[in-house]
Amino acid sequence: MSEILEKKVDERTAELNESNLKLEHANKKLLVLDEAKNEFLKLISHEIRTPLNGILGPANVLSEMIDDPELRELFDILNESVQRLEEVSKLALEITQMQTTGRDMARTQIDMKSVIEKLIVANLSNANEKHLTFSTSFKSQASIRVVEMYFTRCMQEIIDNAIKFSNENGVIHITTTTKDGQLKIIVSNTGEVIPADQIEEIVKPFGAGRHHSDEHVGLGLHYVQTFLEIHGAGLDISSSKEKTEISLIFRMNDDITTQATEAL
């Protein structure tokens, strides 16, 4: 009997060792892929910004010289593409910086309500073009410790995303909630539905799940995911005919404090 048990133990041990080796190998492959992704984003940022620097200056000069309506229309199309390329290069650079040094950067305590209010004001012009309104509800005043410039850009990307994909005359809701040891920032809008099988894709670099109006995929939600990862937070995305909802989920710990306050 003891020999049988010993044999089974040896078999299970061998199976576990084999499984551990496979996991270790898979982990190494993931690390290599992650490093390759970072290098790719860094390369994109550098290779785009170098020629862009030679275009932006002359483009600004030309903008003041063009009077012909047809030429102006062509120039505006060109300029929009140039501006988008510049934005992609900036995002790629910041994502790379977050992934390489973000976890070591100093966190500061910020007032989320104040940051979000300022972003709403900054985005009113774009929202007004689609006759969109904002509705905010902060059931608790949340003060979190984050890298402020990354948090601000993260929220900007989410708000910009909501504006782009909202139906006209819609409402963009921004709320914060605390429950079960978690603090959530929730941004929701009514508009284009994201198919369930594409939700994971849209947070990948240049993911194929959702396209911009000019048929180019972007980095915005990947930026959001990267920000959350370096802060030990989570991301939840749901989409239906009723609404699309993006939730940033922070654990309630020493880095997050809440105080009761009135709703906006």
Sign of the CA dihedral with 247 first, then 253, 257, and 259 last: positive
In a 13 Å sphere around the CA of 95, the CA atoms on its Cβ side amount to: 31
Q: What is the pTM of this model?
A: 0.72
In single-letter form, the type of residue at position 82 comes to V
Is 170 in a helix, a strand, or coil? coil
What is the reported pLDDT for 149? Answer: 93
What is the reported pLDDT for 35? Answer: 64
Q: Running along the chain, 264 residues long, what does each successive block of 10 average in pLDDT?
A: 66 70 61 59 66 78 83 85 82 86 88 93 96 89 82 96 94 92 92 86 69 57 94 93 93 53 36
Among candidate residues 202, 135, 121, 122, the one with its CA nearest the CA of residue 170: 135
In single-letter form, the type of residue at position 115 comes to V
What is the reported pLDDT for 262? Answer: 36
Is 151 in a helix, a strand, or coil? helix
Let me know if 32 is exposed, middle or buried by CB neighbors in 10 A (0-12, 13-18, 19+): exposed
Separation of alpha carbons 182 and 259, rounded Å:
14
What is the reported pLDDT for 34? Answer: 59
Is 224 in a helix, a strand, or coil? helix
